[in-house]
Amino acid sequence: EQVSALRENLIYAQVAANEAAAAEIASLAPLVQRAAKAMMRGRRGKDGRFMADARYQECFDSRDYQEGLRAFAEGRDPVFNGS
């Protein structure tokens, strides 16, 4: 009985942690989400570079990146639009 209760608590804690991680990822800028997915897939482009490299560069060149910097400096939550 104690072992079963312990397992249930561990499973509940893991589910809660996964839900928290998913919520945090969902709050990120859309370009960052795409870059993270590309990194997890580990695919390479025709030039042999990881596709995630180009995706991350897109993030730094984006309006969302500038919005994130402004929001941080102003002490507010950023409003990302995927551009």
User: Tens of pLDDT along 4-62?
Assistant: 767 777 777 777 777 887 787 777 788 877 777 777 777 776 776 666 677 778 888 89
pLDDT of residue 48: 67
* φ and ψ at residue 77, rounded to 5 degrees: -75, 140
Query: pTM of the prediction?
Result: 0.54
Report the b/e string of 36-66 with b at 16+ CB within 10 A: bebeeeeeeeeeeeebbeebbeebeebebbe
